[in-house]
Homo-oligomer: A and B are copies of this chain.
Amino acid sequence: MRVGIVGYGNLGRGVEAAIRSCQDLELGAVFTRRDPAGIQIQTEGVPVLPYAQMNQMKDQIDVMILCGGSATDLPEMTPEVAGSFHVIDSFDTHANIPTHFANVDAAAKKAGKIAVISVGWDPGLFSLNRLYANAILPNGTDYTFWGKGVSQGHSDAVRRISGVLDARQYTVPVPEAVERVRSGENPVLTTRQKHTRECFVVAKEGADLEAIETAIKTMPNYFSDYDTSVTFISQDEMNRNHSGLPHGGSVLRTGVTGFRGETKHTIEYTLTLESNPEFTASVLVACARAALRMAAAGDCGCKTIFDLPPAALSPLSGEELRATML
């Protein structure tokens, strides 16, 4: 199965690496809206082509993995590419998923293609675990904790403050809150009780550090509802200790069963990821395999991870899966 990558940033590079660890998949081409000559990929003999030339590769690519951003790229790109190829995207603006789904579904159905949207870990694997846990324990409460991990949106917000040269923001779950949920206590938790925010900031020489710290801690939506720590460091230390993009978190559901509704259960799913984009890319690649399986079975239209039979994500046959993993 030949996979195309559209967009070659952190996520696109992660997809290229993930394809190399799958024996049943190979990279067909990388497409970019930048100058292809400026892009150096890791797989020998694979072309880097302009986005506009995609349709000339219809016979060489079985499925396209779209590695653009959710804000402006994917809302246009996914319906457009789904008009010619099976596609996978990682659209993650939760509030706009219904609209995105409708647009992509119309385009994919018209072209007889499969489009799997909002793939990754949240939305994606976390969503899947919410679904399973809710279906199994209808009487219960959901909890999601994110981190410890880098929030790119929050890091960007700090970088926009006057006097800031560079910044990295970590979202950190409050350990006591996680323990209270795990213990089955079923707590009601405020925003502040669930997560703290840790900011590492490189300031311009002579900048007013106190003013920067206040600007961060009082920023509405981003920080004012949280206990936030601000640590000023050098650019050197930033590059040395904060260049990675780790992330993760936990989805928990606590619920009750039995005639009296008194028997407690806890379902927990936890991810600890050294690289958010590389892991997200690995989920995209597994779902690309599933898309091709569903297309081969004659299906088309827009799907989410909720619609993919789990077996379709695996390179193993049903028989192999039952013998080795059931």
Determine if A274 and B282 form an interchain contact, defined as CB atoms under 8 angstroms apart. Answer: no
Interface: A281 (CB within 8 A): yes
Closest chain B residue to A14, Cβ basis: B257
Cα(A272)–Cα(B265), bound, Å: 6
Q: A98-B319, A274-B265 are in contact. Are A314 and B135 (CB under 8 A)?
A: yes
Cβ contact of A279, chosen from B123, B265, B283, cutoff 8 A: B265
A220 at the interface (CB under 8 A from B): no
Q: Does A37 contact B (CB under 8 A)?
A: no
A286 neighbours in B (Cβ, 8 Å): 132, 135-136
Report A103-148 residues with CB < 8 Å from chain B CB.
118, 123, 125, 127-132, 134-139
Instruction: Say which one of A152-160, A234-242, A300-308 lies at the interface with B.
Output: A300-308
Contact of A322 among B98, B129, B278, B315 (CB under 8 A): B98
Question: Which one of A16-24, A185-193, A210-218 is at the B interface?
Answer: A16-24
Q: Is A268 an interface residue (CB 8 A)?
A: yes
Q: Please indicate the chain B residues that have their CB under 8 angstroms from the CB of A40 in the complex.
A: none
Q: How many copies does the complex hold?
A: 2
Kindly state the separation between the CA atoms of A76 and B193 in the bound complex, as whole angstroms.
54
Query: How far is it, in angstroms, between the C-alpha of A170 and the C-alpha of B208 when the chains are bound?
Result: 61
State whether B310 touches A305 (Cβ < 8 A).
Answer: yes
Q: Which of A131, A136, A307, A311 has the most CB of B within 10 A?
A: A136
Q: Is A296 an interface residue (CB 8 A)?
A: no
Q: Are A271 and B266 in contact (CB under 8 A)?
A: yes
Report the count of interface residues on A (CB-CB < 8 A).
72
A199-219, CB under 8 A of B: which get 1 and which 0?
A: 000000000000000000000
Residues of chain B lying within 8 A (CB to CB) of residue A52: none
Most chain B C-beta atoms within 10 Å of own C-beta, residue among A137, A271, A326 = A326
Taking a contact as CB atoms under 8 Å apart, the answer to whether A322 and B304 are in contact is: yes
A263 within 8 A of B: yes
How far, in Å, is A55 (CB) from chain B's closest CB? Answer: 29
When the two chains form their complex, are residues A138 and B22 in contact, meaning their CB atoms are under 8 A apart? Answer: yes
Contact of A306 among B129, B136, B321 (CB under 8 A): B321
Interface residue from B14, B17, B289, B306 paired with A309 (Cβ < 8 Å)? B306
Report A1-32 residues with CB < 8 Å from chain B CB: 13-14, 16-18, 20-22
CA–CA, A266 and B269, complex, Å: 11
Chain B residues contacting A325 (CB-CB under 8 Å) are 127, 130-131, 134, 306
Q: Are B263 and A275 in contact (CB under 8 A)?
A: yes
A-B contact pairs, 13 of them (CB 8 A): A97-B323, A125-B132, A131-B311, A132-B310, A136-B283, A137-B282, A258-B278, A263-B275, A265-B273, A269-B269, A306-B322, A307-B311, A308-B310
Q: Which residues of A contact B (CB under 8 A)?
A: 13-14, 16-18, 20-22, 42, 94, 97-98, 101, 118, 123, 125, 127-132, 134-139, 182, 184, 257-259, 261, 263-275, 278-279, 281-283, 286, 289, 304-311, 313-315, 318-319, 321-323, 325-326
